[in-house]
Every structure is written in structure tokens, then in C-alpha cells.
Chains A and B, each alone.
Chain A
Amino acid sequence: QSVLTQPPSASGTPGQRVTISCSGSSSNIGSNTVNWYQQLPGTAPKLLIYSNNQRPSGVPDRFSGSKSGTSASLAISGLQSEDEADYYCAAWDDSLMVGVFGGGTKLTVL
């Protein structure tokens, strides 16, 4: 049982916009920034979004992040087949005093 809650799956067709939610609590998302990671099949995770809504260099602007209260969201617009991957949210938890991950969302491009 992950501290942060994500839907196990999401899907969309090429060109569509999809969003992935990440729900937490006042001790993590509610008081700290959220990061998102993309894990393509058979590879190590890669940083996708940091500090709620910042994109590292090289990440297309089709990817965007937002946070409101104790929830965060990752949006992918103009969905492409290469976006098919697992997506994880993460945040620091002030009560546990450690980082925590969501359970991951498997994105399928139909």
C-alpha cells in the first residue's frame, strides 16, 4: 500500500490529452513539492517533472504538472505511442521523514 495513491492504469489514443492523478495527505503533497518519473519498459525511471510543474531540459512541453491541496496531476497532451510507460509521483513526507512514491500508473496508448 503506497502512501501516495495513483490510478493503476490510464489510456488514450494518439493526439489525445490524458491526466494522471496522485493523491496524498497534508504531511506530503499538502506541504511539499511533487516530482514525477517516467519509466519506459525495461528501463530505469527518468525524471519527468520536478517541483510540481518544472520540466527538466529535454522533456517535451507536452508534459505538464500541477498541484492543488493534497493532490497532484500529470497531464500529457498530444499523446504519442512513445509515451506508453509507467508514471510515478513522489514527494517528501514530513511525518515519516522520508520520500514516498505513488503506486504507479501504467499508461497505454491505444
Chain B
Amino acid sequence: QITLKESGPTLVKPTQTLTLTCTFSGFSLSTSGVGVGWIRQPPGKALEWLALIYWNDDKRYSPSLKSRLTITKDTSKNQVVLTMTKMDPVDTATYYCAHSTPYCSGGSCYPYLGWFDPWGQGTLVTVSS
């Protein structure tokens, strides 16, 4: 059974750097095709894709946030860390991490075409002075 859990501060001040940790179990981030992604959801708003790191250390970032995001993995600890610099009140949101399964067909697998399943419970981060 795959589980993921987000952890980090619930309150950060504007201009500070946010560091979130996703601790997972039930899979290895060294398995070919597998990834862990971060998605956020401002209160009452839609989901926003933030970043994803794959088993081979390939990293993808939302173009609009790329300059502020860093995603890393620690395979031995089963953790993925997301840092976001220059936090602003508009960054107030629930932040989710999720396991990414690759799309496989005809003997080949395509990690980019994968899906998020399962998701962590999410952690609400409020940005306020």
C-alpha cells in the first residue's frame, strides 16, 4: 500500500522560503518510471501543478513558478522536498504531494504521461505577516 504525507510549517511570513517534505512508503523512488509530484490548491480554487521529480532525477517545474521552486529527493529516506522562495500571501494554499505512475504501452513506459495516485492528505500553508 502506497502512502504519502506532507509536513512543514503551517504559517510563513511574506518573503520567507517555504520548505515542505513529502514522506512516503510502499514504493521506491529508484524504481524506473516512478515519480513524486507537488500540487497546490488555494482555498476555494483549482488544483495547480507545481513540480515533479522522477526516479532518474529528472525534474519538471511549472513555468510560472520555476524561478522560485526546487524539488529534490532522498531515496534512502523515502522523502521528496519542495522549496519555494519569496513566499507571498497569494501562495496560501493546501499543498499536496502525490505518487506518479508511468503510462506503459506496448512494452514501453512514458513517465510524463503518468497519473497521480495516491495523493497525500495535504498541508495548509498560510502566508501572512
Task: State the A residues within 8 Å of B (CB).
Answer: 2, 32-33, 35, 37, 39, 44-47, 50-51, 56, 88, 90, 92, 96-104
Instruction: Kindly identify, within residues 21 to 43 of chain B, every residue whose CB is under 8 Å from any CB belonging to chain A.
Output: 37, 39
Instruction: Return the 3 tightest CB-CB contacts between A and B, nearest first.
Output: A47-B117, A35-B115, A50-B115
Instruction: Tell me whether B46 and A102 are in contact (CB under 8 A).
Output: yes
Interface size of B as a range: 20 to 34
Q: Can you report 21 residue pairs joining A to B where beta carbons are below 8 Å apart?
A: A35-B115, A37-B47, A45-B96, A45-B116, A46-B119, A47-B118, A50-B101, A50-B115, A50-B117, A51-B113, A56-B117, A88-B47, A90-B47, A90-B49, A92-B112, A92-B113, A96-B63, A98-B61, A99-B52, A99-B60, A99-B112
Instruction: Tell me whether A46 and B47 are in contact (CB under 8 A).
Output: no
Which residues on the B side are within 8 Å of A32 (C-beta)? Answer: 112-113
Bound form: Cα–Cα A70–B9 in Å? 40
Instruction: Tell me whether B46 and A33 are in contact (CB under 8 A).
Output: no
Which residues on the B side are within 8 Å of A56 (C-beta)? Answer: 117
Decide if B62 is an interface residue (CB 8 Å cutoff): yes
Partner of A99, one of B46, B49, B118, B119: B49
Task: State the B residues within 8 Å of A (CB).
Answer: 37, 39, 46-49, 52, 60-63, 96, 101, 103, 112-113, 115-122
Partner of B37, one of A44, A47, A99: A99
Instruction: Tell me whether B49 and A104 are in contact (CB under 8 A).
Output: no
Bound form: Cα–Cα A106–B52 in Å? 26
Chain B nearest CB, measured from A31 CB (Å): 10
Instruction: Tell me whether B62 and A98 are in contact (CB under 8 A).
Output: yes
Instruction: Tell me whether A33 and B113 are in contact (CB under 8 A).
Output: yes
Instruction: Tell me whether B96 and A104 are in contact (CB under 8 A).
Output: no
Instruction: Tell me whether A2 and B46 are in contact (CB under 8 A).
Output: yes
Which residues on the B side are within 8 Å of A102 (C-beta)? Answer: 46
CB-CB nearest in chain B for A45: B119
Bound form: Cα–Cα A103–B46 in Å? 5
Instruction: Tell me whether B60 and A37 are in contact (CB under 8 A).
Output: no
Q: Contacts A47-B117, A51-B103, A56-B117 hold; do A98 and B47 have CB atoms under 8 A apart? A: no
Q: Contacts A44-B120, A88-B46 hold; do A98 and B113 have CB atoms under 8 A apart? A: no
Instruction: Tell me whether A101 and B63 are in contact (CB under 8 A).
Output: no
